[in-house]
Every structure is written in C-alpha cells, then in structure tokens.
Structure 1
C-alpha cells in the first residue's frame, strides 16, 4: 500500500509540475522527471477510526445544579454529555482527570418534573441524578440532547450486536471461491496499474524528449511548432496520469475494505480460539476429577449406602440443649423434648426402565390435538371433593429427547447479558419469564395466613416464609424461561379457587423490565423485576434489581424487600444446579419492623444443611422477637423469643430462649413423573394452559412457546427467530420516529406500556411501573384495541 500511495503522490506531483510549465510557456520548466524526488511522507485519507473519533467528540457540556443531600441541597456541577454517557465534575479543570459520577444513557430513564428540574436514572438508587437547569430553555436543550444521545447509544449497541452476527455469518460462509475471487480482483487491478505505468513511462519519455529539443532551438518559428507538440504530449500525459490516479484509488479502496474485513475476521477467530482453548482445558481438568471421584465412589459404594441409612434415624434433642442457627444465631427451647429430623438427600442415577415406570405411575392420559394445535389432556384420576369450579390440566406433553450441540453456541455467549444470548429453545422450558414471575404466588396461602395475624411480628414471619417459598422450584428447574417480547402480557385469574388474580407485562426492552400486580380481597402485591446478569463461561449470575411490595388492606401494614442473587452452575460440563445466596432485608414501613434473612451459599466443605436460610425479626430498635430457620427448597419454621442469654463462648453469637417452633411453610410434593415434563409443579403445569378471553399479547398465545410445549422444537426455533426479527424491526421504527420527533424540537415520549403507568416510587425513590387498573375492565368488554401486534 505504501508503494501504491507513493506512486499516486509521484503521479500527482508530476502532473502539477507539467501543468504549471504549460501555463508559463515562456519560462524554462524547472522540474523534470529526472529531478523528481521520492516524497518524504505519504498523506493518507482519514481512516474509519479517525472518523469515529470525530463523531465521539463532546456533544454537550455546561453547568447544571445537582442534588447532593439534604444539608447541601443543589450544588453547581460541570456536566459533559459524550459517547452515550452523562458525566459530571466539580469544575471544567477536572475533565479528563477526576470524574465524580456518570450514567450510561443506553438503559437510562429521563423524566421531566417541572420547568427547570429533570431526573436521569438507570433504575437503581446509586445511579440517579436529580438536576436543575437555570431556565426552561436550558432544561429543554439538555433533555433533547440526552434523548438523542440515548437513541444513538441504543442504536450503536444494537449495531454492535448485528456486526457480531455478520462476523459469525461471514466466518461460516467463507470458502475457497471467495478467496480466489478476491485475489483475481486484486490481480486485475494490479494489471491495470502496470499498464498505466507502461503508458506513463512511454508518454513521459516523449514529453521529456520534446522538452529537451525546446532547450536547443533558437529559431522562433520552430519554437512555436514545438510548443504545440509539447501541449499535445502533455495532454496525453495528463490523461494517462488521471487514469493512473483512478486505478490507484480503486486498488487502495478495494484493498482497504478487504483488509479491514479480514482483520476483523481474524481477530474474532483469535478470540474464539482462546476462549475455546480455555474451556477445553477446564473440561479436561473436570473430566479427570470426575474419573477419580467415580473410582472412589465405586470403591466405597458399600460404606456410602450404610452411612446414608444411619442418617435416616430419628434424633431427639433435650429442651435444655442449644440449637445453632447457621452460625449467626442460636436458640434453645423450654417445652420438653422436641424432635428434629435432618434429612440427607442423595441424588442417584436410576435405570432407564425404572424411570419409565415412574413416569406413568398413577397417571393415565391421552393427548388430543385441536384445530389450533393446542393439546388438551384427559385424566382418569378421580376428582377430589374440593374440585375446582374450572377443571385445570394436571400434566403437559413429555419433553422429547432432542440432542443439542452445546459447544456450537457456547463460544458466542461469553460476556453477554442473559437477555441477549441467542439460545435455541432446546435449553428453555415452555414458560415465559412473566409466567415464572407469576409462579412466585404458588404459595399465596401463606399471605392469606399472614393477613389473619393480629401481631405484626408474627405477620412478618409469614411474609418472610412467603419470600423464601418463591425459590422452592429452583433446585431442579434449570430450564431458561422465554425472554418476553416488549408489550407481552400474562394474566392469571384464580379468584375461583385461590382468591386472587394477577397481571404481568413486559414494560421495557432496554433495559429489560417486567411489572407484576396481584390482588386479593385482603392483600395487594406488586413488583418490578429488572436484573443484572452475566454469563461467565462456567456459571451464570443473576442479580435482581427491582423491589417487591406487599400491602395488607385491613391493617395497612406495608412490606418491601428485594430478592437475593441466583447462580446457575456447571454451564459448560456436568449437571446443572442452582444456588441462591445473599442477605435479604424485609421492611415493614408502618411500624418499623424488620426481618433479616441470610441465605447460606452452598459449600463442599460446610457441615451445615444445604440451602439453609436463617433470620430474625426485630423492631425498629433492633430487639429480636422471632427467629426463623429452614431451607429455601423445603420448609421454613419460626420460634418466638422469650429470653436472651449471654453470647456463646465459642461462637460469640447471641443465644435466644424460644417457644417451640411452628411450621410456616412446607413445599408441596412433586408430581409423579415430573422429570419428564421439565420438573413442573402442578401450579406450573397450569400456567400455560390455553384460556379464552385473554389479551392477544398473552404469553399463552406465543407461538414458539406453544410449539415447544407440544414437542415441536424445530418449528419453535424458526418461530423464535421470526418473532425476534419482528421485534427488532419495530424497535428500529421507533428509533426513526424518535429521531425525527426530537429533531423537530418536540418531546418524544417513547414506548409506553398499556396496562402499567411509570412514576416514582415514594418509598425507594426509583422509577417504577404501577398497575393502572384498566385491564380487567377491557377484558370484560373484550376490547383489545390498545394491544400492540407482537406475534
């Protein structure tokens, strides 16, 4: 490329010299081909990176008043809007040195409060700016610039994903024909350059000869004829130079475009190769460890069975003995001998024939497909006396054994958000994320019991048990739910048997967020679920960000909590298993009562019961009234504190004297053969059952999810791709409308949910979505005109 650009500069410089000599025929030319020197530097056109640097320059900067705290109030800060982020400094001189804070606008909410005040938040309390402009014009200028930057940031993020997909497609479609075609084009263009070089050399020699003859002529008449000859030959030389310049341009442009493409492909392939190499090394280590463990297990198989039998014996503890609670509290009982049993669960692989017998034990059903390709199941199991007013299904079609090449998709998922991982339906379960959120209400009877409590401390125990029960199915439910489409909804009306009804809607796509509202005659529950998720190759970490709210209508007691972290292990190799860990604080806002729950993370070296949860219920001054203990996959119990002794000498933990413990919650036994239909509980089986009269955006009507439930994985994957492309096209159309509206000086409201309204939570200060109460009225009239077309 250096030689080509050098030839281009030489040709350009030569042409200018000869044109200058032609404009001044009376003077002696002062430059010839023999006197041309090699340029000391070559001026290249701006590269794509330089062009990108120009685009990434500062978009807007200036002074704004930012809310700091109640003592200092609003303080003047220097704000800089650049590269899709809003950053602030104490003054202009700190720019590039000390940034005091910034917000990525890609997933931010921009809310205008009045003529001068506006708020920017990314959904968390630590990333919220309360700002005040000097005037309404200044505020509008900032809001407009922020909206444009937000749209641009979302578009760039999506374009990065599309570029990544193009690279993947390019890698898969590269063959020898493409390489040969590229080399043929380059050789053809290089031949054109060589041809131009020969012609330039020929015309240059003729022109140089004519100029030398002019130097020797003394007669004026002969000079005039020679000048005409020089003009003609100079014109031919100029035409040849132009052809040379054009040929150089074509060669350089084509070489640069192909070079950039191959560089990107090689860099991408290099990254993927390193990732796969690390994963293969990790796989080799784990396989080696598994072989050693299998040999040891086979050797000690007899001892293992006898030791398990010993654990099944009942264990009695005296009333004066101390009961340890997960290392952070201890309590004793004074009501005589209490029996406590600790069950040690050991998972073993069963023979295939035995599994088949368990799958059909106690159930006989027939599958009949309707004209809408929906499966209805009929059972011969006798009905109970408390038969539901609406008969609901008891099972779904079994999961087919469809092989999945996990390695073919793993290399494209490293470091990406969970919601952006392009996974096939083979790794899913036939439920959407909205239905999984609704599944938290499976043990709503605990909330009904809590509503009957007159003591707020005892009521807090039941609320705590309800929060723990939502994790009960995560022990064996490792399938990924379907990512909801923007505007997708899910309603569940169980007023006829459970006494409540709920509605869930996907209210945002960037960042993904879902809002849930459930109501009963005695209580009301709502939550906004957003999360931060990362795939790290070996495990998947999910950190919930939204809050859950529960209000009891008669007493007015109001509870708020946030969920703990969930981690999916053995993503690459081995059996998938899920762990929940972290600290959860449940606050009761009316009386100041609090419950502190601790989810103990699983450890190979710990002697504690796996999946253990402990906690205490305190008043606003920290005095303990109740203690809680249990596991998040089986049960929770509580005991009332009647006294507290000195701290234990060995553990330095407080020891509480309690009443006999009582059971708050016990997990329902699994259905026979549940492993054949995704380990669903009876409540989960009924979530995706077809129901008439629901909104057209309901998850039950989602075609890819329904096809997967019926076992048609191939068509389900095709439908999933179609729905994602349709959603992507709708998003791009909204971006175009947003840019046109903002460019016209008008405010663009963006996408707004149909059944939920965005506002600021008075308790947490976050921007949340609350139920507007219109859904059930529209359902009674079957008026779905406001629903978007998403399927």
Structure 2
C-alpha cells in the first residue's frame, strides 16, 4: 500500500511501547523504503523520519483484529481485513521476531481493552445492540487464518530449535573426544528437548485441524446473522424514510394552521420524551434504592423543602466550617449565572439569542454512510450545531460556580469534597435538552469569559491540539478557588446511538487550604440518532480524588445510573459516598444530574463500613429553571446566550469572532456553511504547508521548523505528576490588558 493511501492515519501519542527503523513496501517503483515506526496504544504508525513525529504521521494501522504473519526470515505482514496492509522488512531475523512479538503483545492488550469496553456496553446499552455494525463480529475464517499464521510461526521456531540442537550436539562432540559423561548427558537432554518440540507441533497440528473443521459451521452461522442484520437495516431505512415524510407532512400542516393529526403527533413526541425523563415510584422509593447503591440502609431527618440559600446559611454554621476566617473576613457568595442579567461593567448583557430558523434537513441522509467512522471525520453542516464552540460549551461548566464558592468556605475536607462532587454533577444540568453539537474549534482558537465583576470568576480556554482534538481551560474564582481541565474524547457511533467518552482530566484547588481534587468526566450517550426524538443520557462511575493539602487520600465515588427500559430506578439519578483516607464513609450524596443534588453527613457505621446512618439531607446544588421559550433558541441558559455576545478587546482568535458561528447565530445558515468550509480548508492548507517545510528540512538534513504551539498553555508536568499536561502560563490577562496580540495566529 502506498504512502498516499495511508496518509489519513493519525499520529500516535503517549509513551511508545516500541520504536525503530524498518523498511516498508511502498509501490513497485520505489519498493521498500526506510521508515521510522512507532508502536503505541494498540496502533502502529510510521513516519519518514523521527522529526515528523511532532507534526506529520504517514500512516497508522490498528492492531485490534489485525492479522500478523511472517513472509520470510526478515519480512512480516500486518493486515486489518483488506482495507489496510503493511508489508514490512526488518534488518535481520532477530529484529523481525522482536517486532512480531511486540505487535502480538500490543494486539492482545488492545483486544483486552476492547473486551472490557464491550462488557460496559452490554451492561449499559442492552436495548441498543440492534445497531451494532457487522465489523464488531469476529470472522471465523479470519480466526482460522490467524491460527494458521501462528502455527506457521511455531513451525518456524521448531525448525530453528532442531537446527540449533543438531549444531549443539556437533559442537559437544567436537569439544571433547572421547565424549565425557557430561557431554553425553547434555546431548541426551538436547535430544529430549527436540522430541518435546515435535510433540508440541503435532498437538498444534491437531488443534488446527479441529479449528478448520469448526470454522465452516461458524462461517455459516455468521452469514445467517449478517443476512438478518441486512434485513433489519433495510427495515430501519424504511422507517427513517417514513419518519421524514411524516415530519414534512406535520410541518406542512402546522404552517397552515394545524390539524388534529398534528396535535396528535406532538402529543406522541411529548409522551415518548416523558418516558425517558419521567420519575418512577415515590420519593421513598428513591431513598431505598439509594440505600442499596451506596450502600446506606438508614436515612433520616430529610427536609425536601430546603433551598440552596438555606443550605448555604446552615453550612456557614455547620461543624467543620472555618469560623475564624468567617469572623475575620466575610467572603462574598456570588449568584448563579442564569440568575444574572442586566448591566455588567457599564455594558448591558443580552438575555437570549435569535430564534433558531426552521431549516428541515434529513439526518439519515448524512449519517447513514458514516456508521463506524470517527465523529471528527464526518463533515457535519451547521444545521446540526448550536452557535457555540466547544470552548464556550465547556465554559458553561461554571454555570453554578456558587457551589465552589461555598466549598471554599469549608475547612472539613470531607464536606468540601461533597460540595466539589455536587459541582461536578451540575456541569451536566443542561445536557438533558441540548442535543445539538457545538462547533469544533480550530487549532489555536481561544475563548475568554471574564465575569469577575458579577459572577466572581474568569476563564481562558484554548484549542491546543488538532490531532487528536484537545482543549485546555483554566478558571479562577474570587472566592479562592481555581479549576483546570484538559478535554479530549473518543466517539462511538453505532447507528442508533452515539457515545462520547471523555479522556481528559479536570481538577479544582482551593488557595487558602491548599486542598486539591481531580476527576474524569463520565460517558454521554445521544439516543435515537436515526429515528425518534433525540435524548441524552450520562452514565458511568466517577471518582473525585483528593491529591493535595488536608484532602489527600479523600475520595468521592459517584455513580451515574444509566437509563434502562425496565429499571425501577428514577432516570438520571446520581448517588455517591465520600470516604476519608481510612475508607470510612463521611458523607453521602444523592440526586439527579438535571435537577438537584443533596448531601448528608454519616453519623455512624457498622464494623466493615457497609451500613451507614446519616443525618439530615441538605441541598448542595439545584438547577435554575430554563428561561421562557428557551426551546426556540437552542435551549440555552442565560449564561449560554451571553457567551457568544460580541465583546471588545478580546484576542483575535476568540470564538466570538469566528465568522461561520456568528452567521449561524444570525440565522444565515447557508452563508455559515460556506464560511465553515472556507475555514476548514484554510486550516488544512496550513497543515500541508507545515508538512512540506518539514519534509524539505529533513531532505536537507536540517532541523525542521517547530510546529504550532499553544500561546496561553504550556505542556509540562505538574509537581508530583508524571504525565505531561497543558498548564496555564498566566500570560493571557496581562496580554489583554496591554492589548498585545502580536503572537496570535491568523485562523479566521
């Protein structure tokens, strides 16, 4: 396969498991060419030279499900089923075997990770397996071919053992004449070892015969399953077409005044969505199920009428609060973002964005050919987006920053961690009704949000990497807290649903106490991608770990319960427990990620800490109701509506200045799509120019020019952390004050 064919591969990141020079077959004109290979995270990538690792990957092949077999003493072949094949030659037989062994080990690790992910999918998505693609099934004939390749390797090893054993016996005979007893003993052991190898080969041969006999039956069964899936896919396509026709008919009738049938269709939509987010059982049922999950078997003194303001008042007087600091200086408690409007810094703030235009477009016509592809590689028009970038969307995590303000006032690490846990849950509050995707930021794109005057915090975000897409964000609060996160993700599109799996980490630290906590976000799944009303579910386990100060060793275990068709639990439920360094439960948490979170102290436990008794539950976080008619403007909160509001003095790379996003907000979607294609092509052109410069430098034997680096974040390791992260370099706000944007790239 030529270099041009595999140039779509992405560079491999992370610590490499093996790297070195090998020869790769390119084409019949050039033959084998010397390339730098890197094996990491189940992927084998290659470059023309080591300098290209920083910016240009020539090709990548996944070892998951790949066939690896040797062609001769120095050559081996890697194939993933026909779409990609690498013919690679090593310098000698030893190097070839070293690479083959490393590849097999990496493949086994990748298959183990895939099996674990499949187990999670089976537990959480039991009702969604119909949409699985055919590529997920193992091909019995492919298994037989792989076993045959392994048997060929074993036979090669056996021949080597036989040849080297004979040479050893000859050497022993030549070593001492007449042969001594020791020489005879070694010779006999070598003969026994060769006989054992032959017996092993015979057993492997019998196993191969049995596998070949069974592969035919498995192939027929697999073919039957594939035919069933094809028929099911045809049914789904037919349903999608009927659904599109029905939507057009309903839309047409609604424009002419509406009919009873239209009202009936609307009722069906609402009825379906209620089934997704409706409550089941009484409030007592929720308590009992929470008891089993945490586990806590006795909860008392619960007051469901407690408001967030009541909780904050009690928390100030609660045992463990820092009374001394409260007497010396009363910290300001800032309001929630969605409760703020009016004038800020002598400038009026808007409270909404223009209404979303009605541009009908069939999702199925775009997505049906994208099953199995990475989401970042699907050219999605702005019709499926909202007029915010991912940088702005993640800034919404601080919608309820008042919870962190309250946590900054607490001296007890367990109580503080309980409020930090409530804050992490609050970041999912708007995802229940926000089904449109944000704009993917361009490399070097930034977004600042300075709400220090009214909300008590300011943040700066930057897109620091393009492959893989990654952004870094830093936020600081006037109450004495800082938050940081590095966000990247993987996606799984199965036709019926889309899963977004975050990979980055986040942390929060408090200046006064030095306490620091870190966590990773849970999985988000968007259901009914093809047919039906879109809805979102967040599910999985989250551990918030104390890493610094008095909080070291404290852990909050949160569980976001997945949606289940037959589950007795109320949907969107979150439960959790906060434990001290000795593993003793200190606080418990319960609530719903789209509504509210309550916390209660643990008053007593049994001997093994599996049975707990709790005190009174108080509200740590509660969602502010959505603005009126928010469904007409993308279900934005007031804060979300203000994020893209034009603001003077921001960096020229700020998302507010992105033209396609601005055109979409103004309702000019056709112009926005043209502008989006222009920006993406401009970014690709810059990347191609950088690759050409690097190739020219490599050919000339000079150091290639450095690739684009983040301006406001530096990739380094934190104190006590071994991994490199993009950390804020504390230069943005000073540059804004001077209006010094000379180093900002031209991306728009």
TM bucket normalised to smaller: 0.5 to 0.7
Q: Which residue of 2 aligns with 1:714?
A: 670
Asked whether 1:446 is paired with 2:403, we answer yes
Give runs of aligned pairs for residues 162-311 of structure 1, distance below 5 A: 279-284=233-238
More moved, 325-334 vs 444-453:
325-334
1:526 aligned partner: 484
Corresponding residue for residue 572 of structure 1:
530
* Residues 605, 54 of structure 1: alpha-carbon distance in 2 compared, 3 angstrom cutoff: farther
Partners of 1:316 and 1:338 within 8 A in 2: no
1:675 deviates by: 0.4
In structure 1, the residue corresponding to 2:542 is in which secondary structure? strand
Alignment-derived partner of residue 698 in structure 1? 654
In structure 1, the partner of 2:555 is 594
d(CA) in 2 for partners of 1:774, 1:783 = 11
Once the two structures are overlaid, the 10-residue window that deviates more, 697-706 or 385-394, is 385-394
**How is 1:226-625 mapped onto 2 (pairs within 5 angstroms)?**
279-284=233-238, 324-325=290-291, 327-335=293-301, 338=303, 390-521=347-478, 522-590=480-548, 591-625=552-586
8 Å Cα contact 1:446/1:462 also seen in 2: yes
Q: Is residue 627 of structure 1 aligned with residue 596 of structure 2?
A: no
Q: Secondary structure at the match of 2:674?
A: helix
- Residues 276 and 411, structure 1, Cα contact 8 Å, conserved in 2: no
Moved more, 653-662 or 667-676: 653-662
**Does the 8 A contact of 1:316 with 1:339 survive in 2?**
no
Q: 602, 609, 612: which is aligned to 1:641?
A: 602
User: Residues 90 and 100 of structure 1 are in contact (CA less than 8 Å); yes or no, is this contact kept in structure 2?
Assistant: no
What's 2:168 paired with? none
State the distance in 1 between where 2:376 and 2:38 align: 36
CA distance in 1, matches of 2:538, 2:283: 30
Q: Identify the residue that residue 670 of structure 1 maps to in structure 2.
A: 626
Residues 406, 636 of structure 1: alpha-carbon distance in 2 compared, 3 angstrom cutoff: same
Closer, same or farther: CA 746–462 of 1 in aligned 2, 3 Å: same
The two structures have a TM-score, normalised by structure 1, of 0.57
Deviation of 1:520 after TM superposition, in Å, equals: 2.1
Please list the CA deviations of residues 508-553 of structure 1 after superposition, one character each: whole Å capped at 9, or x if unmatched.
1011110101112301111110111132222111111111011101
The change in CA–CA distance for 1:279 and 1:500 in structure 2 (over 3 A counts) is same
Distance apart, 1:284 and its partner CA: 4.7
Using the alignment, how far apart are the partners of 2:554 and 2:430 within structure 1? 29
Deviation by residue 1:534-591 (Cα, 9 ceiling, x = unmatched): 3222211111111101110110001110101111111111111111111101011122
Secondary structure, counterpart of 1:724 in structure 2: helix
Paired with 1:688 and 1:384, the residues of 2 have a C-alpha distance of 15
For 1:788, the equivalent position in structure 2 comes to 745
Provide closer, same or farther for how the CA distance between residues 764 and 584 of structure 1 changes in structure 2, counting only shifts above 3 A. farther
User: 1:356 is matched with which residue?
Assistant: none
How far did residue 391 of structure 1 move? 2.3
- For the Cα contact (< 8 Å) 1:524–1:552, is it kept in 2? yes
Structure 2 residue aligned with 1:267:
none
CA distance in 1, matches of 2:431, 2:485: 19
Mark the CA change 1:722 to 1:454 in structure 2 (over 3 Å): closer, same or farther.
same
Measure the CA separation in 2 of the matches of 1:278 and 1:56: 45
Q: Deviations over 1:739-785 (max 9, x none)?
A: 22333231543220111111134455332211111111111111111
Task: Summarize the Cα distance change of 1:621–1:91 in structure 2 as closer, same or farther, 3 Å threshold.
Answer: farther
User: Is contact 1:565-1:581 (8 Å) kept?
Assistant: yes
Task: Work out whether 1:767 is the aligned partner of 2:720.
Answer: no
1:174-233 Cα offsets, whole Å, 9 max, x none, are xxxxxxxxxxxxxxxxxxxxxxxxxxxxxxxxxxxxxxxxxxxxxxxxxxxxxxxxxxxx
Of 620, 624, 636, the match for 1:680: 636
CA distance in 2, matches of 1:421, 1:640: 48
Paired residue secondary structure (2:566): coil
- Say if 1:325 and 1:629, in contact at 8 Å, map to a contact too: no
Report deviation, 1:469: 0.6
Q: 1:395 touches 1:682 (CA, 8 Å); kept in 2?
A: yes
Q: 1:732 is paired with a residue of what secondary structure?
A: helix
Aligned length: 500
Task: Point out the structure with max Rg over C-alpha.
Answer: 1
Q: Distance in 2 between matches of 1:676 and 1:684?
A: 14
Q: Which runs of 5+ in 2 are unaligned?
A: 1-23, 40-56, 64-89, 108-226, 247-260, 307-338
- CA 1:467–1:766: 2 relative to 1, 3 Å: same
Contact kept, 8 Å, 2:714 with 2:728, in 1: the verdict is yes
C-alpha contact (below 8 Å) 1:543/1:564 kept by paired residues: yes
Shift in alpha-carbon separation, 1:662–1:55, aligned structure 2, 3 A: farther
CA contact (8 A) 1:636 1:666 kept: yes
CA deviations 1:639-673 (Å, max 9, x no partner) are 100112489xxxxx933111011110000100000
What's the CA shift string for 1:94-146, capped at 9, x where partnerless? 4335536669xxxxxxxxxxxxxxxxxxxxxxxxxxxxxxxxxxxxxxxxxxx
Q: Which residue of 1 aligns with 2:97?
A: 93
The CA deviation at 1:714 is 0.7
Q: Secondary structure at the match of 2:422?
A: helix
Does the CA-based 8 Å contact 1:58-1:82 persist in structure 2?
A: no
- Offset from partner CA, 1:610-663 (integer Å, 9 cap, x none): 01111110012211111111111111111100112489xxxxx93311101111
Tell whether the 8 Å contact from 2:279 to 2:570 is kept in structure 1 after alignment.
no
Residue matched to 1:723: 679
Q: Is the 2:460–2:475 Cα contact (8 Å) retained in structure 1?
A: yes
Hey, what's the Cα distance between the residues in 1 that align with 2:94 and 2:418?
47
SS at match of 2:512: coil
* 3-state SS of paired residue (1:636): strand
- Whether the 8 Å CA contact 1:488–1:790 is kept in 2: the answer is yes
Structure 1 residues 52 and 437: alpha-carbon distance in aligned structure 2, compared to 1, 3 A threshold: farther
Note the residue ranges of structure 1 that are not aligned, 5 or more in a row: 1-47, 64-80, 104-272, 342-381, 648-652
CA distance in 1, matches of 2:582, 2:104: 35
What do the CA deviations read for 1:261-308 (whole angstroms, capped 9, x no partner)?
A: xxxxxxxxxxxx9999764322457899999xx9xx99x99xx99x99
Q: What RMSD, in angstroms, separates the aligned Cα atoms of the two structures?
A: 4.0
Counterpart contact for 1:317–1:339, Cα < 8 Å: no
Q: CA deviation at 1:703?
A: 0.6
Shift of 1:325: 3.6
1:303-330 C-alpha deviation (Å, 9 max, x unpaired)? x99x99xx99997869xx9673463412
Compared CA separation, residues 605 and 598, structure 1 to 2 (3 A)? same
